[in-house]
Amino acid sequence: MDIQHIKQRFSIIGHSPLLTTALETAIKVAPTDMNVLILGESGVGKESFSKIIHHLSARKHAPFIAVNCGAIPEGTIDSELFGHEKGSFTGATDKRKGYFETVSGGTIFLDEVGELPLSTQARLLRILENGEFIKVGSSVVQKTDVRVVAATNRDLLERARQGKFREDLYYRLATVPIRVPKLSERKEDIYLLFRKFASDFAETHHSHLLELTEAAQQLLISYPWPGNVRQLKNVTEQICVLESGSSVDEHTIAKYIPHIEQPPLPVLLGKIDGTEGMSERDIFYKVLIDMKRDVNDLKKVVFGLLEGNLDARQSMSNTMPNTPATPHVPATIVNPVYSESNNAPNPIIIHHEEEDDDDFQDAESYPSAQTLSLEAQEIEMIKRALVKNHGKRKKAADELGISERTLYRKIKQYELED
């Protein structure tokens, strides 16, 4: 059947490629008996697609029923869908047929199927697998011939990962998935829909036919419409009823749509001490300054720890013969040596002139005259490690934090064989 004829018959407005794709899929799957899962946000018109599928199928002369699964209480949903026997629960004064029994031969549309309780999901899975169900309070298995078209605005696979929806049921329902686009994805259709709704409501309420200015059209198109087609329809009806003139500008439109603010970045959460009366920009700068001060304090602590390690090394060297003492000075780590075994950087420590904590600076700020030879320091560290470990290269390499292969190469490079 021609897609334009389908749009006219079921009042589908729009020329969006995404909408056209969804309609084409619905038309192709309609003549079959395959289960269909319609995906889309609330208000996009999922029920219209279920009616298209039913009326273009061989079941078009059989019953069609739409059930909002989220609107039926959990305690009665099984009775509504599958029926119950007399006396099966409190208040069950009569035997009752459920929807799957009364609509046998036709189509049942389960809207918001993701809201079904897990126990009901198990019953629904049995119907989809072999067409069997059991009434509440009964032990008799009954057969039904119902085509199921389901719809949801939830991510059913995510709910399955959370243990709230059966994964096997999802794959049974989603034999053919159809995604209905949200209104913000079909901006070219927004003004067409507004004109259609305005024309219908002008006739219904005997009001003026609304005409939008250019700026009003742009506002209408740029608005995200979180409520989709349903929200656009409601806004159009409000303007038709409450506005006396026929010409509508952007200021009039703005009165009827909620203002959606984009959250500023960064967002400050909670209160910060000492910021009363300060602007958000000033507070942000204060936070950055405090963070910088904390980083500098952390550097002082790290350098203090390194200095303590050097003190320990100095004490060790004083107990060794023919070993020059190391001056008591702060240290920093520069120019890492890479181990050939694992490419991990191994630090070489150099020493700086002693300075007060108040005049602390980064290592890069020291003049080159105040630093000792990097090569000499590396040779000295290797010599100390070898003396301490009585010439055992493996233990010396472990102490230096490098591989034995790297240590051997360094010994050859600096001619330390003796």
Handedness of CA 301, 305, 306, 311 (dihedral sign): positive
- Name the pairing type of β-strands 147-152 and 107-111: parallel
Q: How far is CA 275 from CA 271, 272, 284, 288, 292, in A?
A: 8, 6, 10, 13, 18
Query: What number of other Cβ atoms are within 10 A of residue 357's Cβ?
Result: 9
Max CA separation in the chain (angstroms): 110
Give CA–CA dist 376/101, Å, rounded.
93
Predicted model pTM = 0.61
| The two structure tokens encoding residue 145 | 């011939």
Count of alpha carbons within 13 angstroms of residue 93, beta-carbon side: 1
Domains of the chain and any CATH numbers? 3-181 (3.40.50.300), 184-256 (1.10.8.60), 283-413 (no CATH)
Q: What is the per-residue pLDDT for 391?
A: 83
The residues near 130 (Cβ < 8 Å, ≥ 6 apart) are none
Token digits for 255?
Answer: 């009165």
Question: What number of other Cβ atoms are within 10 A of residue 243's Cβ?
Answer: 16
Closest CA to 192 of 23, 11, 10, 6: 11
Question: What secondary structure, in 3-state letters, does the chain show?
Answer: CCHHHHHHHCCCCCCCHHHHHHHHHHHHHCCCCCCEEEECCCCCCHHHHHHHHHHCCCCCCCCEEEEEHHHCCCCCHHHHHHEECCCCCCCCCCCEECHHHHCCCCEEEEECHHHCCHHHHHHHHHHHHHCEEECECCCCEEECCCEEEEEECCCHHHHHHCCCCCHHHHHHHCCEEEECCCHHHCHHHHHHHHHHHHHHHHHHHCCCCCEECHHHHHHHHHCCCCCHHHHHHHHHHHHHHHCCCCEECHHHHHHHCCCCCCCCCCCCCCCCCCCCCCCHHHHHHHHHHHHHHHHHHHHHHHHHHHHHHHHHHHHHHHCCCCCCCCCCCCEEEEEEEECCCCCCEEEEEEECCCCCHHHCCCHHHCCHHHCCCHHHHHHHHHHHHHHHCCCCHHHHHHHHCCCHHHHHHHHHHCCCCC
Q: What is the pLDDT of residue 337?
A: 43
CA atoms of 372 and 304, how far apart (whole Å): 20
For the record, the structure tokens of 147 come out as: 């085509």
Per-run averaged pLDDT (10 residues), the chain, 418 residues:
87 94 96 96 95 96 95 91 88 89 96 95 95 93 96 95 95 96 96 95 91 94 95 95 90 87 48 54 66 72 62 53 46 44 45 43 42 71 85 84 83 78
> Which residue's structure tokens are 């055992």?
392
Q: Which two tokens stand for residue 290?
A: 């405090």
Determine the residue type at 413.
Q
The rounded distance, in Å, linking the Cα atoms of 37 and 67 is 14
CB distance 370 to 306 below 8 Å:
no
Q: How far is CA 70 from the centre of its chain?
A: 24
Residue 2's identity, in one-letter code, is: D
Instruction: Give the pLDDT of residue 389.
Output: 85
